[in-house]
Structure 1
C-alpha cells in the first residue's frame, strides 16, 4: 500500500506539472494545428519533447520473459528495424553511409514496463537482492523509460537495418540510432590533450625509425639529422630539445608511445626500460603527460558487474530437446514441411542463443530465491522453449514450434 501511494503521488505530481506547463499557453484553434515555433522552443528549453518513433524492432524475442538483459549476453540474437516512411519521405536516404560502421547505438523505449512507477533504489538480478541506486544500473524502470543498446549492424536493405546481438523484444519503439565510433565512445582509445604530440608517422625513405630504441637511447651511433618520424611526432618543447641536441629524451618519449600502442598485449615486466637513464626519463614523462598503460587506467566500473554474487550457469540439453531443435530449418530455407526460423540461421545458432540466455540466469530475484517452481518458459524466434533450473545449471527439456495464432501476434 505504501508503494502504491508513493506511485500515485508521483503520477499526480507529474500530471500537475504537465498541466502547469500548458496553463499559460494560448489555446489551439484546431486539434490538428502544429505548435508555434516559439512554443516548440519553450518546450525544448524545458526538456519536454514529443517523441516520434523512427521505427519498431522486429525481433527474435517476442516477450520480455527470456529476453537477454544485455546485448552481449546473446550475440547470436537477430532483429531488423524498418525506418518509418512517416518520418522521412525517402527513409532509405537517412541510412546512406551507415553501412560503413559495424555497430550502432539504438535509443529506444521500454514500452512493456506496464506502469511508470520507479524507485530511487533497485535490485539488479546480478546482485541477487542487494539494493543500489537506479542510476548505477541499467534497470528499465526509470523516471524516463529510455533504453540504450549497442547492436551489430549485419547489413542494410533499402530502408531496413539487419541487426544481431540485440536485447529488445518485438514491437520496441526506436527513437534514434547513431553510429558507434570507438575513437569517441570508448575510453580505451581516447588520448589526453597533452598527448597530441604523440602521433604515429609512416616510415620515410630518407631515414627509418630505429628498431632498437633502447640501444639508440643509450648513446649508440646515430645520424646528426633527426629522422622524419621523430620530426613528425615532435612539436613545441620537443623541437626545442632537438635544437639543443638532446635527442635522448625524445627517443624515450617515442619509446613510451610505441609501448602505449602495445598496451593490451604487453605485461608490466615488458614495459620496464633496460637503461636507468631511460627509466628516469620515462617516469618523468608519465607523470607529466598522463600516459596510460592498462585497460583499467582508462575507466572503472562497479566490481559487481564483473564479479557478481550470481555465477554463470551450466546449460544442458536433453536428447529429446536436441532432436526437437534439429527439426527447425534456417530462415532462408524453402522447406515448408518443417518448422522454420524467422531470424536464426539454423539449429547451431539457436543452441548458441539459448546457452547465452540461460547461462546468465534470466529469472528474477524473486523466482530465483523464493519460488518453488523451477520450470521456466520463454520464446526464441519461432520456438517455445521449456527448461528447468537446478543447482548451478539449467536444462532445456522441450523445444516446440510456436502455435499459429502466436506467430500471427508476433508478426
Structure 2
C-alpha cells in the first residue's frame, strides 16, 4: 500500500512540474501575441496614413506649394497629434553597434561623433547652425532605430537595477511607445553644415530629429530664479532712490559684495546691468524701487543656514546677530536666491544602484595592441588609425568609462557570465571578459572591413 502511495505522490509531483512549465510557456506566448498585436496595429496605422495621403493626392486636396508642410492632410495630422518625422541628419559616431555603446553620455566623455545637416531639409544647411557656436552643449532628439522590435511594456528592467522592474517612464529605456531618444552632447566645433560632438552615447547611422541648445538658466532647476529674484536683480543700492542714507555698507562687505555681484549678472530676458552713464542712471530711477533693508534681512536669514559653514559646531558659537562670519565658506553668487529655494530630486537607485562599478584591467598583450593605433589626424598609413579618437590614451579613457559601468544586459550578466564580451570603439574591435568586480580587456584589433 505504501508503494502505491509513493508512486502516486511522484506522479502528482511530475504533473505539478509539467503544469508550472506549461503556465510559463502560456505566459510567454501571451507576451509574444501582445507584442505582435501592437506591432500589427502600428503597421496598419502606418498603412492607413499612407493610403490617406495617396487618396488626398489623387483627389487634388494637396496644396501645390514649395513647402509641403502646408498641405491639409499634414495640418489635420498635426491637430490629431500625428506627425511624419523627417530626419535632419544622421550621426557618424565612434560606436558602430549597440553592444558596448554607453547608456548615458557622462559614462564616456571622450567619445566623438559628427552630425551633418541634410541638404534635403534646408537649401542652405549651414544657415540653420548660425549662432549655435555660442553654446557649449546641445540637446539631441533622435530615434532608437536599432530596437529590432516595435514591442514595448509598461514596466522594464533597467540594467542598473539588476532585474528589478520599474515603470518605463521612470527610466531612459529605448523600448518605448514612441522610440524617441534625448541626449546631451558637448559641442566641440561647427564646420559648414557639420557639427562635431564629444561625450555622446549614440551609434552611427542614428537619425536625428531635432537639435536644441542647452541653456542652464532654463534647463537646470538649480539655476532658475523666481519673480522676486528678478525684481532684486533690476535694482541695486547704487541706483535705488530709497536706500537709507545712514546705512553703513561696510558692516557686512562679503554679503553685500556677493549680493551686488548677483544683482549685476545678466539674463537676456529679466536682468538689467548697472548703469554706465547718466542717461542709464536716470532711466533706472524710474523703475520700481525696493527696500534694500528687506533684501539684506533675507540674505542674513539665508546665510544663517548650516550649509554655508565649514564646521556646524563653530556655527553654533556665533552670536545671534549673525555678524560674525568667520569660518564660512566663500559664497557663490549663483547660490543666492532671495525667494523660495528650488531643488530637484531623482530616484535613489540612480546614484546608489545595486550594481556597483567595475575595475577595468588590460592584459599586457591588449595594451601592446592598443598602442599600435595612431590618432585620427596622423598621416601614418601603415599602422591602424582611429577615425574619431585622438590616440590610445583617449581610447583607454573611453574603454574605462564603458566597462566600469558594466555594459552587459541583465540576461547576459546572469546567464552568460562565462562568455567573452565584444564591442567596437571607433576602428577597434575589443574583446574582454568579466570577473567578480572587474572587467579585463584581452584583445584589441582593427575593425575588419
Q: TM-score, normalised by structure 1?
A: 0.80
Contact 2:417–2:434 at 8 Å: present in 1 too? no
User: Counterparts in 2 of 1:143-222, with a 5 A limit?
Assistant: 143-199=177-233, 209-210=249-250, 212=252
Give aligned pairs, total.
370
How many angstroms apart in 1 are the aligned matches of 2:418 and 2:202? Answer: 26
Structure 1 residue runs of 5 or longer lacking an equivalent are 217-227, 280-287, 406-411
Aligned with residue 432 of structure 2, among 370, 387, 390:
387
Aligned with residue 2 of structure 1, among 12, 15, 30:
30
The equivalent of 1:219 in structure 2 is none
The equivalent of 2:99 in structure 1 is 65
Contact 1:126–1:309 at 8 Å: present in 2 too? yes
Aligned to 2:365, the other structure's residue is in SS state: helix
How many angstroms apart in 2 are the aligned matches of 1:263 and 1:341? Answer: 51
Task: Tell me if 1:276 matches 2:320.
Answer: yes
Cα offset for 1:28?
A: 1.9
Aligned to 1:140, the other structure's residue is in SS state: coil
Aligned to 2:32, the other structure's residue is in SS state: helix
- CA gap of 1:389–1:202, structure 2 versus 1, over 3 A, is farther
CA offset digits 1:237-295 (Å, max 9, x no partner):
943xx7xxxx3x442224457x59x999755848889553569xxxxxxxx97533xxx
How many angstroms apart in 1 are the aligned matches of 2:365 and 2:206? Answer: 34
How many angstroms apart in 2 are the aligned matches of 1:336 and 1:191? Answer: 55
- CA gap of 1:193–1:396, structure 2 versus 1, over 3 A, is same
The equivalent of 1:27 in structure 2 is 56
How many angstroms apart in 2 are the aligned matches of 1:96 and 1:263? Answer: 46
Contact 1:252–1:278 at 8 Å: present in 2 too? no
Aligned to 1:147, the other structure's residue is in SS state: strand
Cα offset for 1:10?
A: 1.6
Aligned to 1:354, the other structure's residue is in SS state: helix
User: Counterparts in 2 of 1:7-406, with a 5 A limit?
Assistant: 7-17=35-45, 26-29=55-58, 37-199=71-233, 209-210=249-250, 212=252, 238-239=290-291, 247=293, 249-255=294-300, 259=303, 269=312, 274-276=318-320, 290-292=339-341, 298-403=343-448, 405=449
Cα offset for 1:86?
A: 0.8
Aligned to 1:327, the other structure's residue is in SS state: coil
- CA gap of 1:388–1:4, structure 2 versus 1, over 3 A, is same
- CA gap of 1:42–1:275, structure 2 versus 1, over 3 A, is farther
Cα offset for 1:65?
A: 0.4
Aligned to 2:58, the other structure's residue is in SS state: coil
Contact 2:300–2:322 at 8 Å: present in 1 too? no
Deviates more, 1:309-318 or 1:18-27: 18-27
Pick the structure with greater CA Rg: 2
Aligned to 2:182, the other structure's residue is in SS state: strand
Contact 1:76–1:352 at 8 Å: present in 2 too? yes
- CA gap of 1:274–1:367, structure 2 versus 1, over 3 A, is same
Cα offset for 1:3?
A: 1.3
Cα offset for 1:80?
A: 0.3
CA offset digits 1:91-148 (Å, max 9, x no partner):
1111111000000000000000011100000000000000000000000000000000
Cα offset for 1:210?
A: 3.3
Contact 2:157–2:166 at 8 Å: present in 1 too? yes
Cα offset for 1:192?
A: 2.2
The equivalent of 1:283 in structure 2 is none
- CA gap of 1:393–1:97, structure 2 versus 1, over 3 A, is same
How many angstroms apart in 1 are the aligned matches of 2:129 and 2:255? Answer: 52
Contact 2:111–2:200 at 8 Å: present in 1 too? yes
Cα offset for 1:2?
A: 1.3
Cα offset for 1:156?
A: 0.5
Contact 1:67–1:357 at 8 Å: present in 2 too? yes
How many angstroms apart in 2 are the aligned matches of 1:143 and 1:268? Answer: 50
Q: TM-score, normalised by structure 2?
A: 0.74
- CA gap of 1:42–1:274, structure 2 versus 1, over 3 A, is farther
How many angstroms apart in 2 are the aligned matches of 1:211 and 1:98? Answer: 45
Aligned to 1:197, the other structure's residue is in SS state: helix
